[in-house]
Amino acid sequence: MEATLEQAIQLGLLESEFESIKEILGRTPNFTELAMYSVMWSEHCSYKNSIKYIKKLPTKGSRILVAAGEENAGLVDIGDGLGVVFKIESHNSPSAKEPFHGAATGVGGINRDIFTMGARPIAGLNSLRLGDLNKDHTKFLFKGIVEGIGFYGNSLGVPNVGGEVYFEDCYQTNPLVNAMSAGIVEVGKTISATSYGEGNPVFIVGAATGKDGIGGASFSSEEISDENELPAVQVGDPYEEKRILEACLDLVGKDWLVGMQDMGAAGITCSTSEMSEKGEYGMDIDLTKVPTRQKDMLAWEMLLSESQERMLIVIKKGYEAELQKVFDKWDVNCTEIGVVTKGGNLRFYHHGKLEAEVPAASLCLGGGAPVYEREYIEPKYFEKIKSFDISKISESSDLKKDAETIISLPNIASKRWVYEQFDSMVGLRNYNIHAPSDASLVRVDGTDKVLAMTVDCNARYVYLDPYKGGMIAVAEASRNIVCSGAESVAISNCLNFGNPYNPELYYQFVYALKGMGEACTKFDTPVTGGNVSFYNQSENGPVYPTPTIAMIGIMDHIDQRMTLDFKEKGHKIFVVGKNTNDLNGSEYLFKLRGVQHSPAPHFDLEEEAEMQNKVLELIRNKAISSAHDISEGGLFTAVMESAMAGNLGFSIKYNDELRKDAYLFGEGQSRVIVSVAPEQEEKFKNLMSDHSYEEIGVVTDGVIMVGEEDWGNLEEWKEKYDTVIEKAMAN
C-alpha cells in the first residue's frame, strides 16, 4: 500500500522530502520504505542541517590515519605501530525521559563504535549538563544518569577516568549526556564498516531485536515536550556487550572478514545502508531470520528497532563456520540473515514477501539525503551583551565570603559524588588516582606511551559569544592536555544545539563551528568525527549552545607528566600568562552578581597558543613542579584546587592594577597556575624571559592567606568544596 503525505509528515519528513523520495524511487514508497527514509533522513542520522559547516572543519593532519566520516570513529597514529580510536556522542533525549537506561546505552553505544573498528576500549569520559541541583527533577535525572553510566561502564570493564558536570537552568528539561570512549588498535589491523562481494553472507550478531527504541533517531531530532513521548527506551546489557566485544576483537586480522558495523541509531536500516553504500553493493535481507524478542514484529518495526548490543557483519562466502565458531566460543548469537548483491539496492523480505526495496545510497548522506542551508541572524540578546559596562558593577564588599560561595557552586565544587560511583581502576591503566592532572592520563599497554584525554566546553561562553566561545572550548581542552605534559593531537566533537530552523539558534551553531575550526587549525588538532545533536530545547527554551570537545593528547613517557598539586611548602606560585581586569562571563558575575549578559572572557588565539607552547617547554625542561589551568572560578579557584590536591596552603597577594574581584574570580583565558621549587626558579625565569608571567604568592603549610588577611585553614575550605554535591543529593 502506498504511503501518504500525512504519514510522511507524522514521521517528521517535509513535503519536499516526500516528493524527493518519490523521485528517487520512481514511485510512491510504501509505509515501510517511508519509515526507513524518515529515520535515515532525520537530523540525527543525516546531518542535513549541519553538514555544510561540519565539512569546513579541519580534518587533515600528519597523525590522522582515518579521516572524519570514513568509519565509525576517528583513528590517530600514536607511534610504535599503534593507533587510538576515539569518539564522543550524545544520548540526550533518551536520558531526559529515562535517565538510567538512556545514559547506560549511551556508554554502550560509544564503546561499540570503538571495538567495531577492532580497537580495545581502554578508557571513557563523560560530559553532563543538568538543571538546578536544588530541584527534585534534576536530582532524579542526575542520580539515574550517573548510576546508568557507572552500571554499564563498570560492568563492561572500561574505566571511567574523567569528565565534567555543569548545572544551569537551561538544561532543566533537556539534560545533555555526552559519552566519550577511546581504544587502542594495531595500525593496519582495523576493521572497516563496508560490504562488498556478490554472494557474500550477511550476519546479525548479538542480542535479539525488540521494539525498544523504534524511531529513536527521529525522536532525537525533535524538541522535548509532554506530547512528544519517546518510544520505549533501549535497555542495555553490558554483560552481553562484553562478550560481543571479545568476539569482535577475535575477528581482527581475519582475512575472510569483509566488514562490520554497530547497529546504533536506525538499527538494521542504518547498518545495511551505510555498509552497502560504502562498498557500492546491495543486500538482500530476510527479516524472518532475524532473532526477535517479541512475536509477530512487523517489518518496519524490525528495520527501525534500536535494540542494543547488535552488530552487522559481512564475511567472504565459505567461511560461515569459522565465524560461527568465534561467536559460539563467546556464547553470542550469530545468525545469517542475507547476502550481498550487485546493483546497490537494498531488498528486505519478510515471510517471503518483498517489504521494501530502496537504493542504499539514497538513504545516506551524499547519496540522496537532503542538505540544507538554513538562515541565521545575530541573536537579539547580543544587544544586552554589548551594553555591559564593568564600571557599573560595584566592587565586592566581602571577598572571603564571595570566595566561599564560589567554591561551593555546583559548577566549581568537587564532583567526587559522581566519580566515586565509577570504576576508574579496572585495567590498571589510570595514572590519575593518587596525583591528579588537568587531563586524564592512561597507560598504553606494551609501550612507554601515555594517552591524555579530556572533555571540555564552557557553554555559557559560547552563548555569550559563539565564535569566541567555540575557540575557547578547543583552547581549554588543549590547555588541559598541555598542563598534563602531553602534546595535543586531535579532537572529536559533540555539537549540542537548539532548533536549526530558528535563525538565532542557527547563528550560534554557525559561529561556534567557525571558532572551533580556527582553534583546531591553530593547535593542529584536526577533527576526527563526532555527532550533531539539534533540537535540545523544550517549551522553556533552548539549552546553551554546547559544542563539547573531546581531545586526545600523546605523551612519550610518563616521566613527562605534570600534575596540578602543590608539592612543598616554600615553592613560589606564578601565573604563566597575563592577568586582566576582566569579569566577563564568569561564575562570579553570573551567579553572585546576577549579570546574565556580558561578553565572553578575554581571549586571544595567538596569545593562547604561545602560552601553551611555553607551558609545555617549562614541563619538558622540568622548570616547574605543578601546573593547573585557570578556568571556571578564576585564579582563586585554581590556586585552591592545587592546594587541596597537595594538602598544603598558600599565601597570595593582590595585583594593585586590577580590581580585587576581577583578580581573584575573573575568568580571562590563556593563564596557568604553576608552582616552582627554589632550585627551579632560575631556570623558570630564564625560560620565561620572552613571555608574560606574574609571581603571585607562595605555598604554605595549610594556612590560607589572601592579601594581608587570614582566610582560615585548608581543611575548612576543603570540607566546603568536597561536600557540596553530596549534601545536595542527600536532601
Which CATH code fits 60-189+423-560?
3.30.1330.10
Task: Count CA atoms closer than 13 A to 659's CA, side-chain side.
Answer: 18
Query: Where residue 403 falls among pLDDT bands split at 50, 70, 90?
Result: very high
Looking at the domain 563-730, which fold is it?
Phosphoribosyl-aminoimidazole Synthetase; Chain A, domain 2 (3.90.650)
Residue pair 337/284 in contact (Cβ under 8 Å)? The answer is no
The DSSP call for residue 130 is: E
Q: Are 293 and 307 in contact (CB under 8 A)?
A: yes
Backbone phi and psi for residue 514, each to the nearest 5 degrees, phi listed first: -60, -45
Can you give 214-250 as a three-state secondary structure string?
CCHHHHCCCCCCCCCCCCCCCCCCHHHHHHHHHHHHC
> Smallest Cα–Cα separation from 591: which of 424, 371, 408?
408
434 noted as active-site residue: no
Per-residue pLDDT for 218 more than 50? no
Which pTM does this prediction carry?
0.94
Whether 124 contacts 107, CB under 8 Å: yes
Q: What is the pLDDT of residue 83?
A: 93
Among 91, 101, 350, 628, the active-site one is 91
Residue 356 grid cell: 521494501
Look at residue 370 and give its three-state secondary structure. coil
The answer to whether 350 and 357 are in contact (CB under 8 A) is no
In 409-460 the beta strands, taken as DSSP E runs, fall at 440-443, 450-456
> CA separation (Å) from 461 to 315, 469, 546, 599?
49, 5, 9, 8
Give the lowest-confidence range in 196-210, 358-372, 389-403, 510-524: 358-372
pLDDT digits (tens, 9 = 90+) for 438-459: 999 998 888 889 999 999 999 9
| pLDDT-above-70 percentage for the chain | 95
**Distance between CA 614 and CA 611 in Å, rounded?**
5
| Segments making up each domain of the chain, as ranges | 5-40+192-363, 60-189+423-560, 563-730
Poorest-pLDDT segment among 216-230, 286-300, 345-359, 588-602: 216-230
Residue at grid coordinates 596525583: 435
Mean pLDDT of 265-269: 88
Per the document, the length of the chain is: 731
How confident is the model over 285-311, as pLDDT tens digits?
999 999 998 888 999 999 999 888 999
Average pLDDT over every residue of 577-582: 96
Element (H, E) at 152: helix 136-156
CATH class, 5-40+192-363 region: alpha beta
Q: Do domains 5-40+192-363 and 563-730 have the same CATH topology?
A: yes
Q: What is the pLDDT of residue 426?
A: 55
pLDDT of residue 216: 46
Contact indicator for 109, 95 with CB cutoff of 8 Å: no
Q: What percent of the chain has pLDDT over 90?
A: 82
Task: Give phi and psi for 65, each to the nearest 5.
Answer: -105, -30
For residue 674, pLDDT beyond 90: yes
Active site residue 91: yes
Residue 232 pLDDT grade (very low, low, confident, very high; cuts 50, 70, 90) = low
The active-site residue out of 44, 101, 350, 602 is: 44
